[in-house]
Structure 1
């Protein structure tokens, strides 16, 4: 059963500025007008603000004109997929990022807008919480913790993509300009906020039934481990491992036996899921004219197979993000993650008689995990392409196990062993044990999370990026260097900053 996080529309009341040449300034405001500061005065209204802080999660795939799904954006800079589409000019910002040639005027600038929208909305919850009357201390702590974790999540993506960004915990006022922080300063803001939310928020280890999509303690733990490991913060490795082992020992999460089933609608919010971004199709009203309304996702259509015909399982799409043949070849024949997560079209055509038309960079392999399923946008109420119901899996229990294994391999002390945690993931895949070295665990993560937006960040934090992110003899002609770690800041933001933002040396 699909669990929905219904988005509540917030009524924002503003004060009308009166004409200074009239006598209106002598009149008393009518009783039906409220200052914004006065609106958030009840538990129901601050909950509206909290729900609004979740809303930008659904905009990652498309909101302001660019296709910027966070898994796609990450993976096109790695080595498992291509960009695809019609040609190298189709969504040219993605092709430039793929070849490490992004420009301030051609980069995923829409994500900057989306992430800072999330920061802004999260800050509103914290800004007005003290005005709320009649709210219990436990509920207040819970809502604040959710907002803090959400803000940390949005900042984490800004930090990973751009590094040196404005970081603020109180929303800006006119002229809406903030100082630029270093990437290390941003990390400190993220990690200390997470520590506060974890220690003081009363978050449940797992969101209860009907609350799927809300921040949980396990989700906060996973985000904590992600930023600590990406920062290579040795001082917090033991704490990150402690959090991973708390998730493991809680007994509330486990691997599912059927890897392929994870990616079906029936696999959403399974026992393996720690955090997903919810999308739904029934009565979904997301449209091209209003893409930030709630509903489904365009990502399955974006990566779908072009001019697909005769398929009993999948809808066709636009041919982006084809999987590389050499990525498919990495898997052992008996590894259920290979054909459970990747569609080998030649094999599929033999089974079904399906046909398709190849697009740019196509090699006959497609990301089955998120392809558009038949009737995946059933009963939508707006634009079909924007309303597929595939949830995006942000954190899975498999990552908890591999995080724990890697942290131990890196020297952290825990109660379990790296071997046992790694073995669980490989056993589910149908594979024998291997040595739990850091190198082997990074390779295992590649096989487990192909197409889930993990690989690029793993290569950077592990130091392997210069080895793997090199010309491929076909389409990628440039080599990743440390100067490519942070994308160019969108030129529109540089222009609007009144000289406070310095461009990244990309």
Structure 2
């Protein structure tokens, strides 16, 4: 493949063909006659199909605003929903206070997004298998990437919904509305199968012009994480071995300065293992078209509303930080890179308007900074901030956890935990599970990990009790009622919804 950039200029061409959408964004020459039947004829067209699968990872407006990082931050004890009032984004408020029901919540968008990704990955895999005009080198890598991406989408689906349909290829129209749900263990087994088959065909590193493509390290890290999330202590050393491949392989390293990890001008840095690309190159300006642009609208969401000052740009006031997280981090060196202190901003001359659930503390890691505000298109939906899904500190702490839970090398677990702490000048602590989980809370705060960590460790019911979390129910979202209705109740609703 000559060039592979995960930007909308290529992605929408593929996406438009795959979805049959009537809008063809950034197509200089209309391609209305190019349909699935006469596409995928060569490596260039198959490459466009692959980029279209990648493109789904960055969707944040499918079925409403469903940007994963801020949404999961609001669902956890790290932040509230916020916004102008409780009716601003009722689906976010429902997740924040666990008043979810089959019609209310973020489930429609999350379901649509991830099954769109599964569909596109399945379609591409089918076309790759049937193609006789491509090299084996191209086929192997493209299949590996497609299988990783299918595993990625199913990992989100099983964590968000539990029992879901497991679709691994094209299905007929009569099957479309009668496809049964599979048990979570079967979903996890398929995710592991896809990742194990993907790893050998992926490169250890990629050149700069291919930043954003999946590497072997990303697949290995995700596989280790998937095993840990199944909570089988008998497999923890298996997960630890996989994560050690990533952590000791020499490809990644902890950045010396914690704050450098999240700088928009430091994308794909040495600590980043899996990163979702966003840009303002699309210059999108249409509020009405779902999944239209490549910018990260989550950045706009979390900024202080009507901000006027030197550093930040005006935001919408979502996800104000809880005072619990402020208290937990107040003496931590990572505080200034994790949390914006609004009272301090005001003391320095800035102003902003308090909105719903305001605490005067805001997310810092992805805060909208004036220096990166787009000058093209509609600025609010063209923020060029990437999302780091997996980074080295995450995999260090996951390996340490797996070693402790599996009865492995306690000395190595301690060195991994100490490395994360030492990077910000903190001293050594014992490698207990409590210390490891607390370090995950502080190190990874507001990056979208906390809610699922609470669920998988069995702590969600206690920690989120004052938000209304109900054990045996809120570990997963409800299945969208529209999906149950359209399948004539083939799909069974999750318990207690």
TM-score (norm 2): 0.91
Aligned with residue 366 of structure 1, among 355, 362, 366:
362
TM-score (norm 1): 0.89
Q: Which residue of 2 aligns with 1:5?
A: 6
Maintained 8 Å contact 1:489/1:503: yes
Shift in Å at residue 498 of structure 1?
Answer: 2.1
Maintained 8 Å contact 1:124/1:171: yes
Count of equivalent residues: 475
Maintained 8 Å contact 1:282/1:379: no
1:43-442 aligned at under 5 Å gives the runs: 43-59=43-59, 61-64=60-63, 66-108=64-106, 109-175=108-174, 176-177=176-177, 178-198=179-199, 201-285=200-284, 287-309=286-308, 311-331=309-329, 333=331, 335-350=332-347, 352-380=348-376, 382-411=377-406, 413=408, 417-442=412-437
274-283 vs 337-346, which moves further: 274-283
Q: Which residue of 1 aligns with 2:27?
A: none
Shift in Å at residue 37 of structure 1?
Answer: 4.5
The 1-side partners of 2:378 and 2:444 are apart by: 30
Shift in Å at residue 416 of structure 1?
Answer: 6.6
Establish whether residue 483 from structure 1 lines up as the match of residue 468 from structure 2: no
Describe the shift of the 1:276–1:14 C-alpha distance in structure 2 as closer, same or farther (beyond 3 A). closer
Maintained 8 Å contact 2:293/2:381: no
Root-mean-square deviation over aligned CA pairs: 2.2
The 1-side partners of 2:86 and 2:56 are apart by: 29
Please state whether the residue corresponding to 1:408 is helix, strand or coil: helix
Please state whether the residue corresponding to 1:275 is helix, strand or coil: strand
Describe the shift of the 1:434–1:33 C-alpha distance in structure 2 as closer, same or farther (beyond 3 A). closer
Shift in Å at residue 35 of structure 1?
Answer: 7.3
Describe the shift of the 1:107–1:172 C-alpha distance in structure 2 as closer, same or farther (beyond 3 A). farther
Please state whether the residue corresponding to 2:396 is helix, strand or coil: helix
Describe the shift of the 1:443–1:480 C-alpha distance in structure 2 as closer, same or farther (beyond 3 A). farther
Maintained 8 Å contact 1:282/1:377: no
The 2-side partners of 1:363 and 1:247 are apart by: 39
Shift in Å at residue 291 of structure 1?
Answer: 3.9
The 2-side partners of 1:14 and 1:162 are apart by: 24
CA offset digits 1:434-456 (Å, max 9, x no partner): 11111111111000111111011
Maintained 8 Å contact 2:17/2:35: no
The 1-side partners of 2:282 and 2:490 are apart by: 44
The 2-side partners of 1:13 and 1:397 are apart by: 34
The 1-side partners of 2:265 and 2:371 are apart by: 14
CA offset digits 1:104-124 (Å, max 9, x no partner): 111211111111110011111
Shift in Å at residue 75 of structure 1?
Answer: 1.9
Shift in Å at residue 284 of structure 1?
Answer: 2.4
Describe the shift of the 1:12–1:455 C-alpha distance in structure 2 as closer, same or farther (beyond 3 A). closer
The 2-side partners of 1:248 and 1:138 are apart by: 28
270-279 vs 240-249, which moves further: 240-249
CA offset digits 1:155-213 (Å, max 9, x no partner): 11111111111111012221322111122221122122212212xx4212233211111
Describe the shift of the 1:355–1:284 C-alpha distance in structure 2 as closer, same or farther (beyond 3 A). same
Please state whether the residue corresponding to 1:366 is helix, strand or coil: strand
133-142 vs 365-374, which moves further: 133-142
The 2-side partners of 1:35 and 1:390 are apart by: 33
Please state whether the residue corresponding to 1:276 is helix, strand or coil: strand
Describe the shift of the 1:34–1:386 C-alpha distance in structure 2 as closer, same or farther (beyond 3 A). closer
1:460-479 aligned at under 5 Å gives the runs: 460-471=455-466, 476=467, 478-479=468-469
Contiguous gaps of at least 5 residues in structure 1: 16-31
Shift in Å at residue 422 of structure 1?
Answer: 0.3
The 2-side partners of 1:208 and 1:247 are apart by: 18
CA offset digits 1:349-370 (Å, max 9, x no partner): 33x3101111111111100111
Please state whether the residue corresponding to 2:75 is helix, strand or coil: coil
Shift in Å at residue 34 of structure 1?
Answer: 7.9
Q: Which of structure 1's runs of 4+ aligned residues deviate more than 6 A?
A: 32-35
Maintained 8 Å contact 1:303/1:319: yes
The 2-side partners of 1:45 and 1:358 are apart by: 49
The 2-side partners of 1:92 and 1:191 are apart by: 35
Please state whether the residue corresponding to 1:90 is helix, strand or coil: coil
Please state whether the residue corresponding to 1:267 is helix, strand or coil: coil
Please state whether the residue corresponding to 1:94 is helix, strand or coil: helix
Describe the shift of the 1:33–1:285 C-alpha distance in structure 2 as closer, same or farther (beyond 3 A). closer
Please state whether the residue corresponding to 2:182 is helix, strand or coil: coil
Structure label with greater radius of gyration: 1
